[in-house]
Structure 1
Amino acid sequence: MCAASLTFSGLLVTGLIAAQPAAAADPAGYQNVRINEVTSSGNDTVELYNGGSTAVSISGWKMADDGFSPQSFSPSASSIPAGGFVTFNSPKGLGDSDKLVIYTSGGTVVDRVDWATDRAKPAMARCGGDGTGAWVTATTAATFGSANAAGCPAGVPAASKVVVNEVGSDGSDTVELYNGGTSAVSIGSWKYVDGDTSHSAASVSSSSPSATSIPAGGYVTFNSTLGLGDNDSLFLVDGSGNTVDSATWATNGAKPSDERCATGFQTSASATFGAVNSCSGSTPGGGTGGGTGGGTTGQLLGGGGSLTSGCTPEAPGGTGAAPSGTQTWPGGPDVTVADNVCAFTTSTGPEGRDLSGLAFDPANPSVLWAAKNKNWLYKLVKSNGKWVPDATWSATGKQIRFAGGTGQPDAEGLTVGGNGHLYVTSERDNGNNTVPKDTVMEFDPAATGSTLTPLHQWDMTAQFPQLDTGSKDDANLGFEGVGFVPDSWLTANGWVNPLTGAAYDPANYPLHGNGLFFAGLEYDGTLHVYGLNSDGSFTTFGTVSTGKPGVMDVTYDAGTQRIVATCDNTCGETHTFLKVNASGAIVPDVTYTNPAVMPVDNLEGFALAPTSTCANGFREAVWSDDGIYGFGSGTSSYGHALYSGTFPC
């Protein structure tokens, strides 16, 4: 394929163009390098950004302008670190109505951007996040060598929420677009072109006459009239010629399809055009996307569906600020809606909401356990990228009772103990919801029947007289989460037993099993530490401060070797990781926010997949919303309880 100009008005096509077969000299990860900022205002500076997870060598790379005559340049460094920048001054003058093409040393086109008169003055920057999103002429100072200015500038095109979501080069050459925004986007004048630069752009509407707009949270599919092959690309531009998004793939990468997932594009085992991507059991397909991959601004993907009868979303309440020093989410910026709409309706009320505590099964990371208010448990497994009830356990969940088979536990927190049993916390009996009943119940998940009763039950209600005021609201501020913490971690890290002032010795508590339970109190954000004995008694080891006004879920994460205390919008949607300090006390170490694309709701459940599931340096993180409100009525997240993202290994 030879290089040629793609003629549109205004700002033209940018993206990864497979202009010729990749040479052996092409460095690993070159597809993750993007032109990030350009100026034709005198010094003709260019900035490259690496959105991948490893450094990329750019030794011997070249550039060209509208003459398509590659020429060497002198970068500020010979390689670009992961998430880093390299700048250079163009050896050729960059003018108005010009273009910039970056090549590897083997001649493969890495990225390209075209612009019209004055579009690169004073500078032009990607404004969907570094390495991603729409190009906009900067109205503020250039940011070469550092992250693009937040909101650079205000007024990023609404079209930047539309992404190329799935591409198939297996005969039908199908393309799927997804609108992750909160309003419909008109696409009647949009065009697309493949990686063959001899092709003229085709209009989306000519390929799919009914595709005049994409609803919020919706899809549009069309069959490419240009043909899509191996080592090919797809570029999408709006009616003014501004780049919207792009995707590129290697040999067989789009067969049967290449779909956008939280960690980038992946080859799909089966196409899912017009529906939520599967992102399950797939392998990397060599694709990178211009809309989200590697950037600081992500997309909320998937969702949709109609609310069913008896499903009543509940708006969030109690929003507060994040703790001082909170850091941004360290995982990927993209999040996927990970359940079917209104999936957790039960016979005990018209909620269809209230999914709360979450815990991965350490013995089987493909299983996610979930607790639902109004006394239900679910065993969830992945199906087409969503977490759904395991029909072999119960397609509709199992109801739980207090000891003796009575009452309606207000199930909030859940963890898996060292014996493989489920330990569930309850704040009160929903049959008498003005009175607190702060208990931990042990259930055997292998027990048969549709209703489970506890093998043991420990009642700590008397420890919290401040909750017993006769108010159902106060009674609802008890045990909201619980996490099992192995004795091995406590001893290896030198935890000092608050009862003795000496190093914790598990042998002194022979009936407690092989770990302690940290129950989170919503009332004040403290963790209460218990040894749960096999004779029904318990040992109280005191409290741990999380530094937050509330706790909604607690988990022990072996990957980070930390206890994680999660708080919803009450504390700014944050997760505090706690460690044992040099004095033997458990203290906060670092606090992270949720990914920026997530709604600010009562997200009460949080779980991190074990590191045994790691792929490409990341593992899954899952959140649950006890109100299934999402971004509100009419959005793609409305009616959904589960969200899936990524966290570093």
Structure 2
Amino acid sequence: MTFSGLVLTGMVAAQPAAAADPAGYQNVRINEVTSSNNDTVELYNSGSTTVSISGWKMSDDSFSPQSFSPSSSSIPAGGFVTFNSPKGLGDSDKVVIYTADGTVVDRVEWATNGAKPAMARCGGDGTGAWVTTTAATTFGAANASGCPASIPAASKVRINEVTSDGADTVELYNGGTSAVGIGSWKYVDNDTTHSPVTVSSSSPSATSIPAGGYVTFTSGIGLGGNDSLFLIDGSGNTIDSVTWAPSGASPSDERCAGVFQTSASATFGSANSCSGSGGGGGGQTGHLLGGGGALTSGCTPEAPSGTGSTPAGTLAWPGGLDVTIADNVCAFTTSTGPEGRDVSGLAFDPANPSVLWAAKNKNWLYKLVKSNGKWIPDASWSATGKQIRFAGGTGQPDSEGLTVGSNGHIYVTSERDNANNTVPKDTVMEFDPAATGSTLTPIHQWDMTAQFPQLNTGNKDDANLGFEGVGYVPDSWLTGNGWVDPLTGAAYNPANYPLHGSGLFFAGLEWDGTLHVYGLNSDGTFTTFGTIATGKVSVMDVTFDAGTQRIVATCDNTCGETHTLMKVDASGAIVPDVTYTNPAVMPVDNLEGFAIAPTSTCVNGFREAVWSDDGIYGFGTGTSSNGHALYSGTFPC
């Protein structure tokens, strides 16, 4: 989830921000509230520096500002502080936070029972929407685990741009996949003497916002320097808000990468410019950073093939749009792949997120670590990667996808044996990364080739359309979300499959974009749980992201460089939830690998995302990206 998606700050009427207000106070957000369980409030610092909250106060809808006793007198960057309301909170109430000098820091309102068990900022769509949680409170930690699997459509509406230059224009953006009615919605500024005003009174035609669309209106209560705007739905629940600096939102303040910044020009009714930032939201442009200059020798890039259209309903990348080239040029040349290309599957190690595992099609496995902002082979494991074999130490696996199991072992998929590449060999191999030597052989190997006769035509291209990616999905997510076992027609019960470990493996088939679900048994057998449609014509990588609580099916340029987040629906089936494209600054290549860092790495509401280019082509000959395989960006927490 991203905590900066809702910015609820402002100032008490007729009391300008004092110099004594602590630096960075606008970055402090109310992150979770409960009107039961001791009426607890949690604050989160979305900024990059520690913020002192000494002397701060709070009020609700019935009592004036009161002192409270926080768990700490300051909040570190990306940190939490909790406290109990000094006067209690009701079933329908609000919380307003003030600095010691009376400046409003943040505010949230909820309707009856809206804060039971809690009202929290939730991810899933990457915007930190305020919703009522459906599980236990998560004070002192990110809220995703306590949030509902599906974020309400209304919560995907955002204040996208504001100006306080006299025109006082406000733009709303709907980042969801369905229209949202806003006829009864209201807004108010940071003057606590003002009553909320309906959006429709300021813009009579503003009754709904289409998916991916905008609505603009002129504020009827005026907007000034160091002001705020709060958006409230017809039931009285906070939807979103924004604050801006004393210099005012002029020419405008716009949402970029989930947070607001001053823009060089207003862009009402269209995507934000985000000049000076690599922001996200509304389809802004970013910058491609780094690279080694024009490639002269050392490897042989391959131009992309198979470019197709982007699926309808795809949304803009929800993270930052600046992207960095994240490897050294020609970094993956090997004895079986001197051309240096064919890096495919990627997976962060959940037990050690400073490690990124990568698979190369020409039967190599890499353990990568960060050095000076780039992912390089871990010399303590192997400075050149380790070659992998099929069971018995034979063959050259066409290793495409990989994932990390609960036991810390690396599970790699193969489409073919590159020593006999006209014949499919769709397998999953389990490797112990602690094994010594420069060549690894699998502890277990599961062969599913017989399930895909359409790939066995004697044509090497058909044989190359098998298992392209794989993701380990824990049983706890499947049971917690009510997945229905297709073999029994009842709720999935892991105890029915005693040899499979603690999760299932979802293998992505390049042939048709389906996911194939397996229990990989310790005796070398496997259980097939059927096929899941992703809505894509192809799948190149699969990952389970604990932050969004979604399975992510990635497709390269074949599907317009997109990532489909999969959820369990009300009937117990795994279905597509939302699809995002890549940051617009990235090349349209065979980007076959995709990995998202664990939420434990989050900074300012974002974490790293990494892509791999199977062809190391970038933007082509003579560009700084030519000869590079890895790209690094940011994704919401």
Q: Tell me the TM-score range normalised by the shorter chain.
A: 0.5 to 0.7
Relative contact order, higher structure (CA 8 A, sep 6+): 2
Task: Give 1:398 deviation, angstroms.
Answer: 0.3
Task: Give 1:341 deviation, angstroms.
Answer: 1.1
Whether the aligned pair in 2 keeps the contact of 1:402 and 1:453 (CA below 8 Å) is yes
Residue identity in the other structure for 1:406: T
Aligned to 2:167: 45
In the alignment, the residues of structure 2 paired with residue 48 and residue 341 of structure 1 have an alpha-carbon distance, to the nearest angstrom, of: 45
Task: Give 1:553 deviation, angstroms.
Answer: 0.4
Aligned to 2:594: 606
Aligned to 1:629: 617
Aligned to 1:270: none
Q: Structure 2 vs 1, CA of residues 49 and 646 (structure 1 numbering), >3 Å: closer, same or farther?
A: farther
Aligned to 2:223: 75
**Alignment partner of 1:457 is 2:445:** yes
Equivalence map 1:249-328=2 (5 Å):
290-292=276-278, 296-307=284-295, 309-328=297-316
Q: Structure 2 vs 1, CA of residues 539 and 518 (structure 1 numbering), >3 Å: closer, same or farther?
A: same
Aligned to 1:548: 536
Residue identity in the other structure for 2:432: D
Q: In structure 1, the residue corresponding to 2:422 is in which secondary structure?
A: coil
Task: Give 1:632 deviation, angstroms.
Answer: 1.4
Q: 2:19 is matched with which residue: 23, 31, 36?
A: 23
In the alignment, the residues of structure 2 paired with residue 447 and residue 127 of structure 1 have an alpha-carbon distance, to the nearest angstrom, of: 48
Whether the aligned pair in 2 keeps the contact of 1:133 and 1:292 (CA below 8 Å) is no
Q: In structure 2, the residue corresponding to 1:45 is in which secondary structure?
A: coil
Aligned to 1:423: 411
Whether the aligned pair in 2 keeps the contact of 1:611 and 1:619 (CA below 8 Å) is yes
Higher Rg of the two aligned structures: 1
Whether the aligned pair in 2 keeps the contact of 1:552 and 1:565 (CA below 8 Å) is yes
Q: 2:350 is matched with which residue: 348, 352, 362?
A: 362
In the alignment, the residues of structure 2 paired with residue 409 and residue 343 of structure 1 have an alpha-carbon distance, to the nearest angstrom, of: 20
Unaligned stretches of 5+ residues in structure 1 = 1-20, 61-72, 88-101, 114-123, 136-141, 153-159, 161-244, 246-289
Q: Structure 2 vs 1, CA of residues 85 and 541 (structure 1 numbering), >3 Å: closer, same or farther?
A: closer
Aligned to 2:551: 563
Whether the aligned pair in 2 keeps the contact of 1:546 and 1:587 (CA below 8 Å) is yes
Equivalence map 1:187-198=2 (5 Å):
none
Alignment deviations for residues 95-145 of structure 1 (CA, whole Å, 9 cap, x no partner): xxxxxxx972xxxx57888xxxxxxxxxx999999957765xxxxxx86xx
In the alignment, the residues of structure 2 paired with residue 330 and residue 78 of structure 1 have an alpha-carbon distance, to the nearest angstrom, of: 26
Whether the aligned pair in 1 keeps the contact of 2:160 and 2:255 (CA below 8 Å) is no
Task: Give 1:467 deviation, angstroms.
Answer: 0.4
In the alignment, the residues of structure 2 paired with residue 126 and residue 530 of structure 1 have an alpha-carbon distance, to the nearest angstrom, of: 45
Q: Structure 2 vs 1, CA of residues 519 and 586 (structure 1 numbering), >3 Å: closer, same or farther?
A: same
Aligned to 1:507: 495
Equivalence map 1:514-553=2 (5 Å):
514-553=502-541
Q: In structure 1, the residue corresponding to 2:344 is in which secondary structure?
A: strand
How many matched pairs? 438
Aligned to 2:425: 437
- Amino-acid identity (%): 76
Aligned to 1:281: none
Q: In structure 2, the residue corresponding to 1:490 is in which secondary structure?
A: helix
In the alignment, the residues of structure 1 paired with residue 317 and residue 161 of structure 2 have an alpha-carbon distance, to the nearest angstrom, of: 25
Q: Structure 2 vs 1, CA of residues 110 and 292 (structure 1 numbering), >3 Å: closer, same or farther?
A: farther
Alignment deviations for residues 366-400 of structure 1 (CA, whole Å, 9 cap, x no partner): 10000011000000011111111100000100000
Residue identity in the other structure for 2:228: S
Aligned to 2:469: 481
Q: 1:575 is matched with which residue: 550, 563, 581?
A: 563
Alignment deviations for residues 285-316 of structure 1 (CA, whole Å, 9 cap, x no partner): xxxxx354578322111112453644111111
**Alignment partner of 1:344 is 2:332:** yes
Q: Structure 2 vs 1, CA of residues 57 and 617 (structure 1 numbering), >3 Å: closer, same or farther?
A: farther
Alignment deviations for residues 472-500 of structure 1 (CA, whole Å, 9 cap, x no partner): 11000000000111111111111111111
Q: CA RMSD in A?
A: 3.6
Residue range with higher mean Cα deviation, 415-424 or 633-642: 633-642
Q: Structure 2 vs 1, CA of residues 56 and 629 (structure 1 numbering), >3 Å: closer, same or farther?
A: farther
Whether the aligned pair in 2 keeps the contact of 1:301 and 1:335 (CA below 8 Å) is yes
Q: In structure 1, the residue corresponding to 2:401 is in which secondary structure?
A: strand
Q: In structure 1, the residue corresponding to 2:419 is in which secondary structure?
A: helix
Residue identity in the other structure for 1:79: S
In the alignment, the residues of structure 2 paired with residue 410 and residue 345 of structure 1 have an alpha-carbon distance, to the nearest angstrom, of: 16
Residue identity in the other structure for 1:420: G
Residue identity in the other structure for 1:326: T
Whether the aligned pair in 1 keeps the contact of 2:279 and 2:319 (CA below 8 Å) is no
In the alignment, the residues of structure 2 paired with residue 621 and residue 562 of structure 1 have an alpha-carbon distance, to the nearest angstrom, of: 15
In the alignment, the residues of structure 2 paired with residue 604 and residue 293 of structure 1 have an alpha-carbon distance, to the nearest angstrom, of: 24
Unaligned stretches of 5+ residues in structure 2 = 1-16, 28-46, 48-158, 173-186, 193-220, 232-238
Whether the aligned pair in 2 keeps the contact of 1:319 and 1:572 (CA below 8 Å) is yes
Q: In structure 2, the residue corresponding to 1:480 is in which secondary structure?
A: strand
Residue identity in the other structure for 1:512: H
Q: Structure 2 vs 1, CA of residues 75 and 631 (structure 1 numbering), >3 Å: closer, same or farther?
A: same
**Alignment partner of 1:495 is 2:489:** no
Residue identity in the other structure for 1:23: A
Whether the aligned pair in 1 keeps the contact of 2:346 and 2:612 (CA below 8 Å) is yes
In the alignment, the residues of structure 2 paired with residue 646 and residue 81 of structure 1 have an alpha-carbon distance, to the nearest angstrom, of: 27
Residue identity in the other structure for 1:474: D
Q: 1:403 is matched with which residue: 362, 366, 391?
A: 391
Task: Give 1:342 deviation, angstroms.
Answer: 1.2
Alignment deviations for residues 519-564 of structure 1 (CA, whole Å, 9 cap, x no partner): 0000000001111111111111111110110000001111111111
Aligned to 1:203: none
Task: Give 1:34 deviation, angstroms.
Answer: 13
Residue identity in the other structure for 1:434: T
Residue identity in the other structure for 2:355: V
Q: 1:378 is matched with which residue: 351, 366, 389?
A: 366
Q: Structure 2 vs 1, CA of residues 37 and 420 (structure 1 numbering), >3 Å: closer, same or farther?
A: same
In the alignment, the residues of structure 2 paired with residue 411 and residue 385 of structure 1 have an alpha-carbon distance, to the nearest angstrom, of: 26
Equivalence map 1:184-223=2 (5 Å):
none
In the alignment, the residues of structure 2 paired with residue 513 and residue 294 of structure 1 have an alpha-carbon distance, to the nearest angstrom, of: 39
Aligned to 1:589: 577
Q: In structure 1, the residue corresponding to 2:454 is in which secondary structure?
A: helix
Q: Structure 2 vs 1, CA of residues 126 and 631 (structure 1 numbering), >3 Å: closer, same or farther?
A: farther
Q: Structure 2 vs 1, CA of residues 541 and 79 (structure 1 numbering), >3 Å: closer, same or farther?
A: same
Q: Structure 2 vs 1, CA of residues 435 and 132 (structure 1 numbering), >3 Å: closer, same or farther?
A: farther
Dislocated runs of 4+, deviation >2 Å: 21-39, 44-50, 55-60, 80-87, 109-113, 124-135, 149-152, 290-297, 304-310
In the alignment, the residues of structure 1 paired with residue 456 and residue 240 of structure 2 have an alpha-carbon distance, to the nearest angstrom, of: 54
Q: Structure 2 vs 1, CA of residues 56 and 426 (structure 1 numbering), >3 Å: closer, same or farther?
A: farther
In the alignment, the residues of structure 2 paired with residue 30 and residue 558 of structure 1 have an alpha-carbon distance, to the nearest angstrom, of: 29
In the alignment, the residues of structure 1 paired with residue 562 and residue 393 of structure 2 have an alpha-carbon distance, to the nearest angstrom, of: 36
